[in-house]
A and B are shown apart, each in its own frame.
Chain A
């Protein structure tokens, strides 16, 4: 009971946190590109776009940062047994994240926000790039830590049976990490570009500032097309890696109870969540699962029943099969939406090529709503990854059931769960209200020369306008 509550609380807060993280990573990169464009060509519309999307970025960063603090504390609060057991290995990347990434991101964000009229242009541009790099580095360390939970490497067990780090390099060359990290970066760029596209499309459809928002729409499509293609490719390679190290995860994602060779891919089925259930309405495509899970036409995928028997023999009696329903559907929500986004992006590319982007009413209308897809895909992706690891908290080393804090009661967790849900709901409402308000408020009027002229017009040492 306490353990389930701790899981609910952690899942709720981390899913919520990850709504904001990819927007931050993606938009920081895109804003840096916009500012670089302004730096090169000096056109005032790029400066206006930089400031406009910069404001949207900042609203998201605020929520991303504070919800990230919760995650950092929760390992110790909710999962003290886990923290004590794995801190030797797992704590390292978290501390590195603070030292090497979070300091960088936060300090240079402050410099960027307040430095518009104070820093030389080139230095100011470097600040936003350092913010973008900082946010990507931050994800790097977090993914190294998370990947270790999926596929622990670089450790030995000490006399007390606790993992102790003995090869830090292994954490950063872990195949689960390499593929997983790139996948997260690509997903973040997809998210950022779909957010930018949605806002730009809204203006294009209202025929406001068409010249300006055509630039941001083109940029977002230029980023979206390669990143969605690569995200699909890298995601499927990640599946192959996981099929090797966490076969349960992939078998459950396919509701594959018995071993098969070659294996068909189930496009759609109802039921089959339990072993004794016969799924109905199956649409299958021959050989595709073999291809996806093993990269070979006739590859073998070991079924859940056989894996369960192997695990029971190896680790003792228990249920080692993750929730098949969640696995099956989170996999499909993620992959099917990604395929739709890919088609949509290609449509956009074609329109762009023909110079018709701002005239296609339907494309613009769909663009606005397409902003929901990355959030669904990201959440589904994490459900697939984290639920698929169950019942383990660290694959093969520690079970989630043994990981929570013995000193924390279910009442404590109920309180924290309700408090977080209430605060996060309020934050979400405030964030959404501000995002919509600033998205609709339009571009700020600019003098076009970018600050310097304005400062000198006010007389040498005049103070810039208050930022906060």
Chain B
């Protein structure tokens, strides 16, 4: 396999990893007010992702930086084309990122309410907008012969891109609810299960629409690929399994598979393009015309081969350390994080 292709696969895997991991914490971010009716319930929900979300978000950083290193033209064209969309994503990432850390640091209800909204809206818009961006890569954006974007902000909101965004958002919500079922107890767990029922069927409908629409967009074959079929089967399983509390682990595995297969299928359909030009197929960015030189790719491959296994080991260990379900300590349900000085 040529190094271009190796790096295309690595970047696809990093995007998949990002959505499988951060997907559930986006879901928890949106759902935390729904599953947590009391302040304690909300905090329990947020604490399920507390140790993980920051590490999960690094997958996005690595996806972006990996594109910069391995496919500079792809990074340059995509990030400048999505300028205002990325601005919105950055606003959401900022609002959400500091919200986790700031929220618990004051008992003032207005303060907490501000960060609750930051968390909810941030967690909603990031997967939606990133999904729009990924869908746009496949359906194509107006890009000229020098690989510069020629459209405006509204040209980014392609119908297919929006559907992809909604699909990914729907999957993140389902993934978040299965994660919460797995990681909480009592009332929060019950509410997560109640939420996962409608979320499950919405996700099934969205994925089904996505698979059909993708066939229309890609065009050359009417038969969905195996990964798209896998996405559909997995999301149906996740929706079914989430209804009982005996299969929470399986339900979470199924929602993880559904999200992985959906993101994976976008990249599979994209290859060998990395960004389609709706102006002319001659202006498509491809793994060949967007890639770095072979020396740079070789160096980066060595770095990735050395680093990734280590990262997976310690991230996996962190999930193992915090495998217990989260619940509030019974004596002091409203105790803030750092006890006040007397």
The interface of chain A, by Cβ under 8 A from chain B, is 51, 55, 58-59, 61-63, 65-67, 69-70, 72-73, 75-78, 80-81, 83-92, 94-100, 102-104, 106-111, 113-115, 118-119, 158, 164-166, 168, 405-408, 412, 415-416, 419, 423, 427, 430, 434, 437-438, 441-445, 458, 462-468
Q: How far is the CB of A463 from chain B (nearest CB, A)?
A: 5
Q: How far is the CB of B140 from chain A (nearest CB, A)?
A: 15
**Could you jot down 24 A-B contacts, CB within 8 Å?**
A69-B57, A69-B60, A83-B76, A88-B296, A95-B69, A98-B61, A103-B314, A107-B58, A107-B314, A111-B318, A115-B321, A166-B295, A405-B148, A406-B148, A407-B149, A434-B102, A438-B105, A462-B330, A463-B324, A466-B326, A466-B335, A467-B47, A467-B50, A468-B43
Which single residue of chain B is at the shortest CB-CB distance from A99?
B307
Determine if B295 and A164 form an interchain contact, defined as CB atoms under 8 angstroms apart.
Answer: yes
Given known A-B contacts A108-B314, A407-B81, A423-B91, A102 and B58 have beta carbons under 8 A apart: yes
Docked complex Cα distance between A148 and B27 (Å)? 40
Q: Which of B80, B91, B150, B340 contacts A77 (CB 8 A)?
A: B80
Question: Apart from A84-B73, A87-B68, A165-B295, what are 8 other A-B pairs with CB-CB below 8 Å?
Answer: A51-B338, A72-B61, A94-B65, A95-B62, A95-B303, A103-B62, A430-B98, A444-B338
The 8 Å CB contact of B54, one of A72, A73, A88, A110, is: A110
Using Cβ atoms and an 8 Å threshold, which residues of chain A touch B339? 444-445, 465
Of B82-90, B175-183, B252-260, B270-278, the one contacting chain A is B82-90
Q: Is the CB of B83 within 8 A of A87?
A: no
Among A72, A434, A466, the one with the most B-chain Cβ atoms within 10 Å of its Cβ is A466
Interface set, chain B 87-109, CB cutoff 8 A to A = 87, 90-91, 93-95, 97-98, 100-106
For the complex, what is the distance from the CA of A103 to the CA of B66, rounded to whole Å? Answer: 14
CB distance from B251 to the nearest CB of A (A): 24
In the assembled complex, which residues on chain A have CB atoms less than 8 Å from the CB atom of B292? 87-88, 91, 164-165
Query: Are A84 and B102 interface neighbours, CB within 8 A?
Result: no
Cα A65 to Cα B94 in complex, Å, equals: 9
Does B55 belong to the interface (CB within 8 Å)?
yes
Chain A residue numbers with a CB within 8 Å of B71 are 87
A416-B98 contact, Cβ under 8 Å, with A106-B54, A465-B337: no
Q: Which listed residue (B68, B97, B328, B338) contacts A62, Cβ 8 A?
A: B97
Check A107/B300 contact, CB under 8 A, given A88-B292, A458-B331: no
Q: Is the CB of B102 within 8 A of A430?
A: yes
CA distance A181 to B326 in the complex (A): 42
Count B interface residues, CB 8 Å: 87
Overall SS of chain A's interface: helix
Which residues in B have their C-beta under 8 angstroms from that of A94? Answer: 65, 68-69
Q: Would you call B322 and A118 a contact (CB within 8 A)?
A: yes
A99 touches B340 (CB 8 A): no
| Contact A412:B84 (CB < 8 A) given known A92-B300, A442-B341 | yes
Chain A CB within 8 A of B311 CB: yes
CB distance from A426 to the nearest CB of B (A): 10
Q: Is the CB of A468 within 8 A of B94?
A: no
Asked if residues B329 and A463 are in contact (CB atoms below 8 Å), the reply is yes
Q: Is the CB of A62 within 8 A of B104?
A: no
Residue picked from B47, B72, B330, B342, most chain A C-beta under 10 Å? B72
Given contacts A62-B101, A103-B62, contact A415 B87 (CB under 8 A): yes
Contact of A463 among B77, B314, B326 (CB under 8 A): B326
* Residues in chain A near residue B324, CB distance under 8 A: 463
Distance between B272 CB and nearest chain A CB, rounded to angstroms: 19
Residue-wise interface mask of B (41-61) relative to A, using a CB-CB cutoff of 8 A (1 in contact, 0 not): 001101100111111011011
- A405 — which chain B residues lie within 8 A by C-beta? 76, 80, 83, 148
| With contact pairs A51-B338, A87-B68, A94-B68 given, residues A467 and B104 touching in the complex (Cβ less than 8 Å) | yes
Q: How far is the CB of B157 from chain A (nearest CB, A)?
A: 16
Query: In the complex, which residues of chain A have a beta carbon less than 8 angstroms from the beta carbon of B81?
Result: 407
Quick check: is B70 within 8 A (CB to CB) of the other chain?
yes
> Given A70-B90, A465-B335, are A58 and B65 neighbors across the interface (CB < 8 Å)?
no
Tell me the bound Cα distance from A443 to B340 in angstroms.
8
Chain B, range 262-313, C-beta contacts under 8 Å to A: 292-293, 295-296, 299-300, 303-304, 307-308, 311
CB neighbours (8 Å) of A90 from chain B are 68
Which residue in A86, A99, A463 is a CB contact (below 8 Å) of B72? Answer: A86
Say yes or no: is B8 at the interface (Cβ < 8 Å to chain A). Answer: no
- Top 4 A-B pairs ranked by shortest CB distance? A87-B72, A76-B79, A91-B69, A91-B68
Q: How far is the CB of B134 from chain A (nearest CB, A)?
A: 15
B75 in the interface, Cβ–Cβ < 8 Å? Answer: yes
**How many angstroms from the CA of A344 to the CA of B304 in the assembled complex?**
46
Query: CB-CB < 8 A to A158: which residues of B?
Result: 293
Q: Does B4 contact A (CB under 8 A)?
A: no
The reply on B327 being an interface residue by CB < 8 A is yes
Nearest-neighbour CB distance to chain B for A182, whole angstroms, equals 23
Find out whether the CB atom of A466 lies under 8 angstroms from the CB atom of B43: yes
Q: B80 — which chain A residues lie within 8 A by C-beta?
A: 76-78, 80, 405-408
A97 to B332, CA, bound (A): 41
- Residues from chain A with a CB closer than 8 A to the CB of B149 are 407
Q: Give which listed residue, B43, B61, B293, contacts A88 with CB less than 8 A.
A: B293
Question: Which residue, of B46, B52, B61, has the highest number of chain A Cβ atoms within 10 A?
Answer: B61
**Which residue on B lies nearest to A446, using beta carbons?**
B339
Q: Are B86 and A463 in contact (CB under 8 A)?
A: no
Task: State in angstroms the CA–CA spacing of A87 and B76 once bound together.
Answer: 9
Q: Return chain B residues, CB-CB under 8 Å to A99.
A: 62, 303-304, 307-308, 311
- Minimum distance in angstroms from A141 CB to a CB of chain B: 10
Query: Are A466 and B44 in touch, CB under 8 angstroms?
Result: yes
The minimal Cβ–Cβ distance linking B97 to chain A, given in whole angstroms, is: 4
Whether A103 contacts B58 in the complex (CB less than 8 A), given A73-B79, A111-B51, A164-B293, comes out as: yes
Q: Whose C-beta in chain A lies nearest to the C-beta of B337? A: A467
Specify which chain B residues have a CB less than 8 angstroms from the CB of A88 in the assembled complex. Answer: 72, 292-293, 296
Residue of B150, B335, B339 ringed by the most chain A CB atoms within 10 A:
B339
Q: Are A83 and B68 in contact (CB under 8 A)?
A: yes
Query: In the bound complex, what is the Cα–Cα distance between A94 and B193 (angstroms)?
Result: 41
- Give A416 to B303 CA distance when docked, in angstroms: 34
Q: Which residues of B contact A462 (CB under 8 A)?
A: 329-330
Question: A98: which B residues are within 8 A, CB to CB?
Answer: 58, 61-62, 65-66
Whether B315 is near chain A, meaning CB under 8 Å from some CB there, is yes
Is B249 in contact with chain A by the CB < 8 A criterion? no
The reply to whether B55 and A110 form a contact with Cβ atoms under 8 Å apart is: yes
Residues of chain A contacted by B342 (CB below 8 angstroms)? 445
Cβ of B147 within 8 Å of any chain A Cβ, yes or no, is: yes
Please name all residues of chain A whose beta carbon is closer than 8 Å to the beta carbon of B90 when the two chains form the complex: 69-70, 73
Q: How far is the CA of A111 from the CA of B321 in the complex (A)?
A: 8
Given contacts A110-B50, A110-B52, A412-B84, contact A84 B76 (CB under 8 A): yes
Q: Is the CB of B58 within 8 A of A73?
A: no
Q: How far is the CB of A232 from chain B (nearest CB, A)?
A: 34
Which B residues touch A102, using CB under 8 A? 58, 61-62
